[in-house]
Chain A
């Protein structure tokens, strides 16, 4: 199975900060990566797919980049609603695995 390693596992930030989360794949997954946001007690919410395509309704302060084995999720200016846990997921080569998550906290 393809492993997805996210870093950091926890990130302390303030409102207005630029935040970057990294996800590394154990082998190339081309651009087949999605990012999700999850708040406590809630279901994950799709933010980005195909590494950099923003899902409809997602604020433009979220962006994604990367290809091959290294991917990043960036929040350009952290808002109070953005404190949450973020997961990457690869969907390449007939498999789908998630990163272990990054908690963004104050």
Chain B
């Protein structure tokens, strides 16, 4: 069974940092691109960042302005999202998602999702 389990969310003050983790199981991690998608409370879905299966290609939403860093650890079957200089606008549930097999990392849909981890940025 494919599983994606996020962790690392929580309450952080504006300007602070958090590191999100997504541990996966049930599939060959190195075959798939991985992605983060967020959803602000009561809002729609917003793509955040993507990393290719090898880790060689990485993309970010323009709105992040260089504050986030995505990475993957093939030994631990995990994908990480380091978030710095957080603002209230970053408050959201952050979902880890798997890209479809065989599609480009930058142009794919998401065929499996984790349950999400809530990030709240507030003073």
* Neighbour of A91 across the interface among B45, B107, B112, B115, CB < 8 A: B107
Name which of B9-17, B75-83, B98-106 contacts chain A. Answer: B98-106
Cβ of B84 within 8 Å of any chain A Cβ, yes or no, is no
Interface of A is mostly: loop
Complex Cα distance A96/B104, Å? 11
Number of interchain pairs (Cβ within 8 Å): 56
* Neighbour of B109 across the interface among A1, A46, A100, CB < 8 A: A46
Which residues, 70 to 123 on B, are CB-close (under 8 Å) to A? 95, 100, 103-104, 106-116
Cβ of A87 within 8 Å of any chain B Cβ, yes or no, is yes
What 1/0 mask marks residues of chain A from 37 to 52 whose CB sits below 8 Å from any chain B CB?
A: 0000011111001000
A100 touching B110, Cβ below 8 Å: no
B106 / chain A contacts, CB cutoff of 8 Å: 94-96
Cβ of B26 within 8 Å of any chain A Cβ, yes or no, is no
Cβ of B47 within 8 Å of any chain A Cβ, yes or no, is yes
Cβ of B31 within 8 Å of any chain A Cβ, yes or no, is no
Using known A-B contacts A96-B47, A98-B44, A98-B47, determine if residue A43 contacts B104 with beta carbons closer than 8 Å: no
B62 / chain A contacts, CB cutoff of 8 Å: 1
Least distance between A55 CB and chain B CB atoms (Å): 7
What 1/0 mask marks residues of chain A from 41 to 76 whose CB sits below 8 Å from any chain B CB?
A: 011111001000001000000000000000000000
* Neighbour of A100 across the interface among B44, B95, B100, B115, CB < 8 A: B44
Closest A residue to B46 by CB, please name it: A98
Those 7 A-B pairs whose CB atoms lie nearest each other, nearest first: A34-B109, A43-B113, A94-B106, A98-B45, A100-B44, A91-B107, A96-B47
